[in-house]
Copies of this chain bind each other. A is one copy, B any other.
Amino acid sequence: MTVRVGIIGATGYTALETLLILMRHPQAEVTLATSRSEAGQQIGDVHPILAGRMSVAITDYEVAEVARNCDLAMCCLPHGASAETVRQLVQAGVRVIDFSADFRLSTVAEYSRHYGIEHPWPERVGNTVYGLPEWFGDRIATADLVANPGCYPTSAILPLGPLLAEGLIDPTDIIIDSKSGISGAGRTPKLNTLYCEAAESISAYAIGNHRHQPEIVDLLRRFSGITPEVVFTPHLTPMDRGILSTIYVRPSAGAIAKGGLARVAEVWQQHYGGEAFVHAVQHIPATKHVAHTNHVQMTAREAGNRWVLVSAIDNLVKGASGAAVQNMNVMFGLDPQMGLA
């Protein structure tokens, strides 16, 4: 079997990363790629790394064309625009993985508060599976629509979720200090992502009001049943790709009684021991240790009366395109590692 994949919105960095992964995938084929602005061009004209290697003409998006040519649409559009397209595709019978934030949160109210628009397809908010196969694999397998996770949330909730669920940490005192590569800001030219602004400089942004904060809280609640209080600060870091999250938590009294950090190791092993892409490691992970891979590395250390968790992912792979292909594999009954190992 070959999964016929359409890329909706094929010009950005996550679209490119998805194309590169799918080229190595033995049971997937890119049958269609759309872009309003670049329709008529070859994919290799827009992404010169594909020149001579992939022969796909970019077309304008038309739902009927996608329905005819694709088993799956990977929708790489911005929020808002995405939800409307996703609705058309799902209603036309195409299974969809949506890269945007449109179907990640649990309620329409939460969505409107943080994204500032009315939701275009409210019926599917709160009942769409969040595409983290390590947590929600069963529901992903049968889903018509999967909300691909945000990059920061992936790096934060994977280490935190099990510790929260098992009562190892104080839910009211969680600080997430995340450092992301510049590709997370997208491929549209803006002043702050110019080389001369971003290189040799690190800066915090959106302190106290980044849209991934409610996503982190919502998902931790869905996984653990507990609604935590989270302070989240993202940083723009002078590198192309990667997210490092340094997470400060307070161990619960019970956690210390039951072994402290050793208990963290146990709980992670128990939750992720069978997972191919999540690794509790001895060393302190760097983003280079996961660059261009779908892997997560995480570790825990003691510092004063706190635990410091450090996790590293590639924001474009496990934080976006790799996760999407992993979801595709689960949706179509393939080996979850296919194309990603």
A residues whose Cβ falls under 8 Å from a Cβ of B: 13, 23-24, 45, 48-49, 51-53, 175, 177, 179, 181-183, 187, 189-191, 193-205, 207-209, 229-233, 235-242, 244, 246, 248, 279, 281-293, 295, 297, 301-306, 308, 310, 312, 341
Contacts and interface: CB of A to CB of B under 8 A. Distances in A.
A248 B231 contact: yes
Q: Assembly of this chain: how many copies?
A: 4
A297 B51 contact: yes
Nearest to A241: B200
A199 B203 contact: no
Given A187-B196, A195-B199, A240-B200, A233 B49 contact: no
Contact of A202 (B175, B286, B293): B286
A92 to B, nearest CB: 32
Contact of A52 (B51, B182, B197, B279): B279
A302 B195 CA distance: 30
Nearest to A301: B207
27 contacts: A48-B281, A48-B286, A49-B289, A49-B293, A51-B281, A52-B295, A177-B248, A181-B200, A183-B196, A189-B190, A195-B195, A195-B198, A195-B199, A195-B238, A197-B288, A199-B200, A200-B200, A200-B288, A201-B242, A201-B288, A202-B237, A202-B239, A203-B284, A207-B284, A207-B301, A208-B302, A232-B303
Closest 3 CB pairs of A and B: A208-B303, A203-B286, A201-B288
Contact of A196 (B45, B240, B301, B306): B240
B202 A191 contact: no
A248 B241 CA distance: 26
Contact of A239 (B51, B199, B285): B199
Nearest to A248: B175
B53 A202 contact: no
A203 B237 CA distance: 11
A172 to B, nearest CB: 9
